[in-house]
Structure 1
Amino acid sequence: MRRVCLTLPTDRPCVPAIGDVAREAAHGARAFGVEVHVLVLDSAPAAARAEHRAAIEELAPAPGVVVHHLDEEAQRHLLRGLATAAAPEAADRLLDLLLPDAVSYGACTDRAFLIAETLGCASVHRRDSDSRYQEHAGGTVFPIHQELAFLDTPAAEAATRVSVRRLRPEALERPVALVGGSFIGAMSVDLDAVRLRDPSAFERIIALTVPDDYPPLWRTTLVAESFRGGGTTPFTGDRTTLTGVPPTRVDMCNIALSRAVYGRVPLPPATDTVGSDYFLLHVVHAAGLPGVLHNRHIVNHHTPDRRTDPAFLAYQVRLAKYFLAVPRLHEIHTALGAAGADLLDAEGRIRTAAVAGPVRRSAADARAADAHRLDTLDSVHRGLGGRWAEAADLLAARRERLLAEARTDMADFAFLLDAWPALIGAARAGEPVGGR
């Protein structure tokens, strides 16, 4: 029986999300005859973890569904064994990258990839704790339905069942490597308050997400579309497109990836950096691997903790680190796009070393433009006043550290890329975690 992993990483209270994901898993198992392993990776405070554990224990058993709840202690134990087996001399460094003390969107998903390998899963389906599902015609709109319908099927076969086909002929014999949708509802980052307060300040901030060498027309379009997700139109019926999925059209709360992708390349383990978990979408697109874009968008919402002053300040740091990463990521994406099908080996598998090269080169130099990006943020934040001015003070105090991390984060990613094949091998040979 095919096994798949439906994962929910969390660092906040999210009992409703756990219940929703369990219902989605039951739907997937029932509709497609697969075994769905629900993997809750729990970095929440102790009280919230206890609530999560109790909620999981109260879940009604569902045929074909196995639930795993791993706190950080359990994750650390498992990862230390994998890191030691893969690279004994570098085990401590690998463990620090995979389970850092700070928030890492990439690392939490890398942990899901490795644990899914220990479970023998063919794919990883990721959700977020600050999202929920749409309802339509008396039922819940589960993205896993489209994910299981298309992932890993030959693109030529998928072409007979999708609504729209926009795939190059040479990719038709390759299997679908990615299936994804986006979100509707609140913006995906905490910038809407800036937009409402000062649209020009909002545009200056969002412009930092666009590579400096993009033509003005492209820049204007990308600024207008950034962080908007799937818009605001509710689901009324399925629409699917077989294509090379543009990374900007999907969200990591609504994504499924084949082990053929994450088994070859991990996500950047950078800490406190939004957007770091989108890297694989660019790899899939650059390599010309088929994907299916669907419209079963998840509803994004902001949990109460996102509105507190500490959470606000923490998020401004994560945004700043992303803005600093943009030029390097753009260089890497450009290099990957130029390589195209050369990213694949003779069997059509992604070559890990072909991805590691551009990543390593991006870490090789310091850049004056990095400081200019922080200057822009400082100017905008101080102009907005209030707690944005507090954010400016915080970023100013961490300025040298942020500039240094813009380089070291990429060096760390290159190191993880080099070790990834051995880590995956250790995971496949390792003992699976238990569940209920």
Structure 2
Amino acid sequence: MSNVLDELQWRGLVSQTTDVEALRAALENGPITYYCGFDPTAPSLHHGHLVQLVLLRHLQLAGHHPIALVGGATGLIGDPRMSGERVLNDRETVAGWVERLQTQISRFLSFEGENPARMVNNLDWHAGLSALDFLRDVGKHYRLGTMLAKETVARRLASDEGISFTEFSYQILQGMDFLELNRRYGCTLQTGGNDQWGNLLSGVELVRKADQKSVHALTTPLITKADGTKFGKSEGGAVWLAPDMMSPYAFYQFWVNADDADVVGWLRTFTFRTREEIAELEAAVAERPAAREAQKALAADVTTMVHGERATQQAIAASQALFGRGELADLDPETLAAATEGLPRTGFAVGDPVADVLAATGVVKGKSAARRAIAEGGVYVNNVKVSGEDAVLSAHDVLAERYVLLRRGKRTVTVAVLGDEPGQGAARA
């Protein structure tokens, strides 16, 4: 326990804290009980939540007692955004998302042993609170000046749309969560992203004013790329943790494509590898960048943590098979569909000449060029070299009842889809 805060700081998991020396002493003299809240504003957690889940796990491994709160109540309200009022989701939708998030979170924490995790839903205590009790017992501890000074609130007030009393009150509800967990379970630390600092302080102050107790808050920094752009599969896009929103293959590809400038920092933040292991991978980036050893280690670790070992191995196998280093026939239909999703495609029918389909993809300029490429031995169907210029696609070539992979040379790949309309284009990797 004595070194956990230093370890978190080294891993880039600490941005702001309340009295850092008091927090350090509490962690060293622990164990303490701590929590992080996750609001069901979507049917899945994403890369931003992953930082919190890793932080929760580090603290649990250090012997402390985690509470994962899924906000069945706060999810009905929504944390104010800079850009405008949220659309309120209906109660049935939020309840369904609560269950999905609880399932996702449960994979990261241990619910057994000497310091088992606890899963809670803040709807359990907010649902029965009357308006009068809310105003008398909680509202009296809040000062409008402090609430109005919060950056998100101030910006929304200055906008044409303004802010509703509903969203304005969100910070009080989150503060109440900390007070309730402190009273029920002795919880003394709340963690969250840097954008939650104001809400975390709301809880710290409410506990101090209501019960005259001192508690702590810790935030993680916003994770960005080395070039300062957003961390995501695309600008503003989320790296979802749910396999039905982002396939394990696509998830693996996001991490394995990390830039050399980012990968070492991400290994510290998102994996549990030791300092020595990360130092070795950092040296590999400098000495053998083309091997991408660090990226492969990062992708394997994070994908296994989120989706499990089997899904990781399938993603690795698909990555290799696309470029001739594995058996495409061994891939299950879901993985094959995910692996080919980003490839330009063309349609085909059984019996179509390989040269015609290859030409339709745009890999070569016309059927004559396609025939020459085949004659030169540079065309592959499902990683098998095509030996005759008059070869046709047969039913035996069709993978998962739909796909045929065509490759020109070592690294130019496209997919032909049974029954689709002809198109063109090819992927290079």
Give the shorter-chain TM-score range: under 0.3
Greater RCO (CA < 8 Å, at least 6 residues apart): 1
Instruction: Kindly name which structure, 1 or 2, has the bigger radius of gyration based on alpha carbons.
Output: 2
State the TM-score, normalized to the length of structure 1. Answer: 0.23
State the TM-score, normalized to the length of structure 2. Answer: 0.24
Higher fraction of helix: 1
